[in-house]
Copies of this chain bind each other. A is one copy, B any other.
């Protein structure tokens, strides 16, 4: 059943460009105008078009007007890719965070987004899903697509970050301080925050604290825990109970039972989400806050002031971290030094979830 002889020859003709099926092959976004077309339409060279588009003053007003008219008429938009290639920069910076659902990182995201936006820069965002390995892989990938990177990496080992700082530069680290890192870091003084919390609580007569632990791998958690242990060790007659927990609402909610069992009169939660979960859990168990138990958070998320009762917590300048991260990155991108590392001092916000220890 071979039909050999009757082969149709029709499809041999010039496969001419078919505007139909969307760009399977060519790099042709459409009939998009290029600088050459504009140049041709305006009767000038590509160089002149480029000059006009970039506001160079060395073009006669009359010619410039002609070029602009041609560009307008053709709906010309310069190719970002070509521009990046020629200039060696993309006009984009990156932010990599572990978890976009966490208000802590949302704050940095906003601050950075606004600062970068004001400077006409685009922002690339990647989420590492709380995975130490991902944090660095995504950072490298994101950095390749941009001119600089802001990284929140609570899990990657110090050493790994030091190794990477070259490849990532210009590079700013946030919410963490890695000794010997060749990049500026913007961090929060966790120890000071915990100490403020502890003195507030001991001042109210509390002698038995429960700490609702954050995720094991979190560097903030490690610092807060260490500060807590140090405080406990330095205060005679003081008991610290460490309760495994987590970083989300549900974790705190689930920890209410254990808190009650351990007999602490105050709970220091890893963060505000945990604290507010605990608040709800305790409420369900009929425990009065702060009558029976005091509760504190950390971070001062927007919501912390609307829990019942409003949460005593430690406030950290989330947006400010983002804004300053931009400033640092900008400086680095201009070949300046990134300046000194900064450790933001948190501020204790006493609201209504803490009160005198029951006698």
Q: Cα distance A124–B124 when bound, in Å?
A: 4
Interface pair B343/A8, CB less than 8 Å apart: yes
Q: Cα distance A14–B183 when bound, in Å?
A: 9
Interface pair B114/A122, CB less than 8 Å apart: no
A134 to chain B, nearest CB (A): 9
Query: Which of the residues B18, B113, B310 comes within 8 Å of A127, measured between beta carbons?
Result: B113
Query: Which of the residues B12, B101, B189 comes within 8 Å of A106, measured between beta carbons?
Result: B101
> A151 at interface (Cβ–Cβ under 8 A)?
no
Set of chain B residues within 8 Å of A324, measured between Cβ atoms: 3
| Chain A interface residues (CB < 8 Å from chain B) | 1, 3, 5-12, 14-18, 20-24, 26-29, 77, 79-82, 84-92, 100-101, 106, 109-110, 113-114, 117, 122-127, 129, 138, 141-142, 144-145, 165, 169-171, 177, 181-184, 189, 249, 253, 276-277, 279-280, 283, 302-303, 305-308, 310, 317, 320, 323-324, 332-335, 337-347
Query: Which of the residues B7, B22, B86, B106 comes within 8 Å of A334, measured between beta carbons?
Result: B22
Of A12, A26, A81, chain B has the most CB atoms within 10 Å of the CB of A81
Set of chain B residues within 8 Å of A122, measured between Cβ atoms: 124, 126, 141-142, 145
Interface pair A307/B308, CB less than 8 Å apart: yes
Nearest opposing residue in chain B for A323, CB measure:
B3
Interface pair B100/A345, CB less than 8 Å apart: no
- Given A85-B81, A144-B80, A308-B283, are A341 and B15 also a contact pair (CB < 8 Å)? yes
Set of chain B residues within 8 Å of A142, measured between Cβ atoms: 122
Set of chain B residues within 8 Å of A91, measured between Cβ atoms: 145
Query: Which of the residues B101, B125, B253 comes within 8 Å of A123, measured between beta carbons?
Result: B125
Nearest opposing residue in chain B for A97, CB measure:
B113
A208 to chain B, nearest CB (A): 25
Interface pair A308/B305, CB less than 8 Å apart: no
A357 to chain B, nearest CB (A): 23
Set of chain B residues within 8 Å of A18, measured between Cβ atoms: 169, 332, 335
- Given A169-B16, A308-B307, A317-B5, are A124 and B181 also a contact pair (CB < 8 Å)? no
